[in-house]
Amino acid sequence: MGDRGLPAAEPVSRRGAGGKKHSMMKKNPGYFREKKKKNEKIVVLTSYDYPTTVILEEAGVDMIILGDSVGTNILGYRDETEVTMEDMLHHTRAVARGIRSMYLVVDLPYRTHETAADAVANARKLVAAGADAVKFEGIKEDILAALKGDGLEVMCHIGLNPQYDQDRMKRGEVSRGKDFEDAVRLLEGARRLEGRGMDLLVLEKIPERIAEIVTANIATPTIGIGAGKYCDGQVLIVTDLLGVNERKFKHVPDYVDLRRVMIDTVRRYRAEIEAGVFPGREHINLIKHEEYEKVKDWCLAHGLKVQGDDAP
Ligand code: KIV
């Protein structure tokens, strides 16, 4: 049992290859608290679509955050403030279809949680679309209290908050908590949010030492992005991890350049089409000789051209 009386994980069943039923454990906040207590790291990535989610499940990821980073990474938006509830609902449904054991947290986008009533109404929509929990940016105890009061599971998000920090980010200030006042604001904020019952906490782009103090002083599992190794878990934008984007970030390891792989693959496809190599014999459907002969006779009788003389 988790320390809030929750089962550490709940069984779910899925059909694997050959239609066989496999039972897996659906992860929940109690499971993540247990991991924190046992000093086991929590593995998190963003996902925005069904196929990626299925791959992340197979690779053993614990939790998906469907963040408003969908705006810049998938939808071609200028920044996070353009993302709407409709965008989040559409992507939530797609990701939820691929989830088996992973826990799914979905962002409340910009201006959808200005009041407690809006936050609760919009969070309910995300949960109805398949989210296990909602996430919102900022140290807003009233919003958290309203969501928790409605029985929702909630991840908070402090440090760099792209929904509210766009001006700073455009000035090149891409981290928070780097001076005494801002660090203490984050430490106190994390403790106040814990007092209001948050289930999980994202720490974005803050100094490793500050993330370490926050993590050591709350029971809530912390998930860091650009916040160093002392967080209870790590999250990255999946397209950054896989090297799909041209942009490179200091906090992202350089494992693979999927952009290069994709460009090379599409160039090869183009070259093979242009050279008449693709599709080859192994890619085509055949028709029996006698059926083809009948089709040819019918075409000739109807004045149609028949190109190939050689029956496949
Ligand atoms: O929008 C997002 O993807 C996020 C991540 C930093 C978790 O908030």
On whether residue 168 sits in a domain, the answer given is yes
- Nearest Cα residue to atom 1 of ligand 1: 67
Stated pTM of the model? 0.90
Q: Quick check: is 34 catalytic?
A: no
Helix (H) or strand (E) holding 266: helix 258-274
On whether residue 145 sits in a domain, the answer given is yes
Q: Give residue 148's domain range.
A: 24-241
On whether residue 291 sits in a domain, the answer given is no
Helix (H, G, I), strand (E, B) or coil at 250: coil
**Domains held by the chain: number:** 1
Task: Give the position of tokens 């390891």.
Answer: 253
On whether residue 201 sits in a domain, the answer given is yes
Ligand 1: centre distance to CA 72 (Å): 11
On whether residue 290 sits in a domain, the answer given is no
Give, in degrees to the nearest 5, the angle at Cα 210 between 205 and 214: 105
- Which CATH number does the domain housing residue 80 bear? 3.20.20.60
* 44 CB neighbour count, 10 Å cutoff: 25
CA-closest candidate to residue 175, choices 230, 240, 249, 239: 249
On whether residue 296 sits in a domain, the answer given is no
Each residue's pLDDT, cut to its tens digit, for the chain (312 residues) gives 333 344 456 666 655 444 555 567 999 999 999 999 999 999 999 999 999 999 999 999 999 999 999 999 999 999 999 999 999 999 999 999 999 999 999 999 999 999 999 999 999 999 999 999 999 999 999 999 999 999 999 999 999 999 998 889 989 888 899 999 999 999 999 999 999 999 999 999 999 999 999 999 999 999 999 999 999 999 999 999 999 998 899 999 999 999 999 999 999 999 999 999 999 999 999 999 999 999 999 999 999 999 875 544
On whether residue 271 sits in a domain, the answer given is no
| CB under 8 A, 24+ apart: contacts of 111-117 | 111/81, 112/85, 113/140, 113/143, 116/142, 116/143, 116/145, 116/146, 117/146
On whether residue 307 sits in a domain, the answer given is no
Of 57, 137, 194, 204, which one is the catalytic site residue? 204
Task: Give the position of tokens 């799914």.
Answer: 104
Ligand 1: centre distance to CA 287 (Å): 52
